[in-house]
Structure 1
Amino acid sequence: MRQRCLLELPPWPVAPRPFPEEAMGSWLGRVAARYRMGVGELSDEYGLELNTKAARAGWLALPAVQEATLAHLARLARIDEGRLQEIQTPNDVPVTRCVQLYCAHCLFVNPIDVAAPRWKRAWLDTEIPTCEVHGTPLAAIPSSALRRCRNFDQVLRVVGRLEFERARDHRNDLH
């Protein structure tokens, strides 16, 4: 009965397209933000079997999604399932990391769509300490700070505040 009800749910009226280098959690966080809800609420509302609590960073470092859920997401977003398969989190990504790495410039300035920041899948890899675009060291943010965020808009606010504080501290150090 529940399965039938889920299949009867209409596709989302609007769903942002995933970017090729984006992490699955980032895309889901952007979808949830579009509807002003948390990723957990999105998962519950649409019967998505997402393991949002598996990683210390929560939904942002979401482990690989099961095939049935991937198919359900593709139908809801009206996109090709293969496109979602491409943004799956690699199986070897450690879920117990205390910090998550990112490049602030790449996060906030998406060259494909400047109005759509995204979290890159490459940042989930602990073996990549520098930005592949800028060659600068990746910044770190505690996983616990990200775990408290309900959707991607909140991630951007938290990271934005952190970057503002780092810039202020850097200016103070120069004086």
Structure 2
Amino acid sequence: MEFTPKPLPVVVMPLEDECLGSWIGRLGAYYGISVSTLLKTIHLPLPCNYLKNWLLLRPINLSDALTIAKACRHSKESIASMVPSTGHILHYCELGICVHCLAEDHANGRPIYWRRKWLDAVSVVCDQHESCLIPIESNIFRCYNNWTGIETQLLKATERVLRDQETNKILDSFDKTSPFLQWLFCDELAQQIAGSRYRLDVVSARQVASDLLDALLYVNPAEQRSSALHEYAWYLKIPFDNQQLSIHIRSNHVMSLSRVQSLEVRAFAIAVTDAIMFSRVRWGSPQATENLTETSSFWTSSLWAFLPKCSVELLSLRAQNWPSHYTQTCWPELRGMEKIAMSQSSKKTLRSMIIQENALVIKSKLADIRSN
């Protein structure tokens, strides 16, 4: 016999774009109980995956979503709109907040809450304020059982960042490039970005972006070398260590970016991916080929030299599902593996050239090297 939960006597209202974990955390704070106890009360035990970070709470199945909806006096559609996307970051990864959003909430007397979009792996910039998200350690949700205490910590972080605008220097250099790939995974601007920037439909553009991100992050321990993204970081003189940029692809095919712990590294990853995708599209255009700048050519010519063998194989395999016209125009090398092998063999030559041009490299930031 299916259990029907008794509705809670009082329920705080969810706020605009609030994620489910934030709302449940505020409910727990209202009743003075932990998130885990609240869910047990409505006969929905907290899954072990979320014990370390209940902010990322998402129902395992439709039955769980209906249980929350009935107990919390909301429609299942409302609950579904609060659930983090399938591309959300994992529990051990660094979170990101927009301090301007939180400052406005506090100034206008609104509760401090966590936006759903901030949990997406590709979200590194606030859509509303066009400012970089600020890193927050995820362990605060292990230290506090409900929203009580979280609000204070977020306001302290907001005050500290607004007082010292020099923090987050690395992220500041990406804020001009990162939003493009971020917007590709959002419904509002996805069609426009996919068509005008990457010359693909939305589904195909997202697939190419995800596959390229996986290839750039992928390393095989047997090869004993860095990921392609680490090579790009080395070129740009950005101090990311190898472990921050090394991902082992798993069979469950969860987006590799969601496993990257640091918010700054995720920003770097999507900014590089956007630069490569955009320069590839321009490279495939006869009108634009003559006007390519040296920095645009860099993304096109250096990719294969930076990719380890395992990443080349992964990308070649994934590219079989890309639109044939796009692959033929923008990624013709994927039709001939011998060209890729030839490019990889020139890695030493490329490194020598880069070292000789060190003075130019030191002056360059990723935001200045973008193709647009």
Call closer, same or farther: CA 1:66–1:49 in 2, change over 3 Å.
farther
Structure 1 CA distance, aligned partners of 2:154 and 2:16? 22
Call closer, same or farther: CA 1:110–1:167 in 2, change over 3 Å.
closer
Q: Which amino acid aligns with 1:117?
A: I
SS of corresponding position for 2:96? strand
Structure 1 CA distance, aligned partners of 2:15 and 2:38? 20
Structure 2 CA distance, aligned partners of 1:92 and 1:56? 19
**Structure 2: where are the runs of 5+ without partners?**
168-372
Q: Does 1:91 align with 2:83?
A: no
User: With CA pairs under 8 Å and 6+ residues apart, which has the higher RCO, 1 or 2?
Assistant: 1
TM-score by length of 2: 0.40
Q: From 4, 17, 22, give the equivalent of 1:21.
A: 17
Structure 1 CA distance, aligned partners of 2:141 and 2:44? 21
Count of residue correspondences: 165
Call closer, same or farther: CA 1:92–1:17 in 2, change over 3 Å.
same
Structure 2 CA distance, aligned partners of 1:131 and 1:14? 32
Residue of structure 1 in register with 2:28 after alignment: 32
Residue of structure 1 in register with 2:115 after alignment: 120
Q: From 139, 142, 152, give the equivalent of 2:147.
A: 152
Identity of aligned residues (%): 24
- Give, in angstroms, the shift of residue 109 of structure 1: 3.4
- Give, in angstroms, the shift of residue 165 of structure 1: 4.1
- Is the CA contact 2:20–2:84 (under 8 Å) kept in the aligned structure 1? yes
Q: Which amino acid aligns with 1:31?
A: L
Q: Which amino acid aligns with 2:54?
A: W
- Is the CA contact 1:49–1:69 (under 8 Å) kept in the aligned structure 2? no
Q: From 49, 55, 61, give the equivalent of 1:54.
A: 49
- Give, in angstroms, the shift of residue 65 of structure 1: 3.9
Residue of structure 2 in register with 1:44 after alignment: 40
Q: Name the one with the larger helix percent.
A: 2
Structure 1 CA distance, aligned partners of 2:17 and 2:37? 25
Call closer, same or farther: CA 1:11–1:148 in 2, change over 3 Å.
same
**Structure 1: where are the runs of 5+ without partners?**
none
Structure 1 CA distance, aligned partners of 2:55 and 2:18? 11
Structure 2 CA distance, aligned partners of 1:79 and 1:136? 33
SS of corresponding position for 2:74? coil
- Give, in angstroms, the shift of residue 166 of structure 1: 4.2
- Is the CA contact 1:18–1:84 (under 8 Å) kept in the aligned structure 2? no
Q: Which amino acid aligns with 2:73?
A: R
Computing the radius of gyration from Cα coordinates, the structure with the larger value is 2
SS of corresponding position for 2:149? helix
Residue of structure 1 in register with 2:356 after alignment: none
- Give, in angstroms, the shift of residue 108 of structure 1: 4.9
Q: Which amino acid aligns with 1:42?
A: L
Structure 2 CA distance, aligned partners of 1:65 and 1:14? 25
SS of corresponding position for 2:135? strand
Q: From 133, 136, 141, give the equivalent of 1:141.
A: 136
Q: Does 1:68 align with 2:74?
A: no
SS of corresponding position for 1:153? coil
Q: Which amino acid aligns with 1:43?
A: L
Structure 2 CA distance, aligned partners of 1:125 and 1:134? 17
Residue of structure 2 in register with 1:131 after alignment: 126
Q: Which moved more, 1:9-18 or 1:84-93?
A: 9-18
- Is the CA contact 1:48–1:69 (under 8 Å) kept in the aligned structure 2? yes
Q: Which amino acid aligns with 1:38?
A: S
- Is the CA contact 2:22–2:114 (under 8 Å) kept in the aligned structure 1? yes
CA RMSD of aligned residues (A): 2.7
Structure 2 CA distance, aligned partners of 1:126 and 1:75? 30
Q: Which amino acid aligns with 2:131?
A: T
1:116-136, Cα deviation, whole Å (9 max, x unpaired): 222001100121211111111
Q: Which moved more, 1:87-96 or 1:132-141?
A: 87-96
SS of corresponding position for 2:148? helix
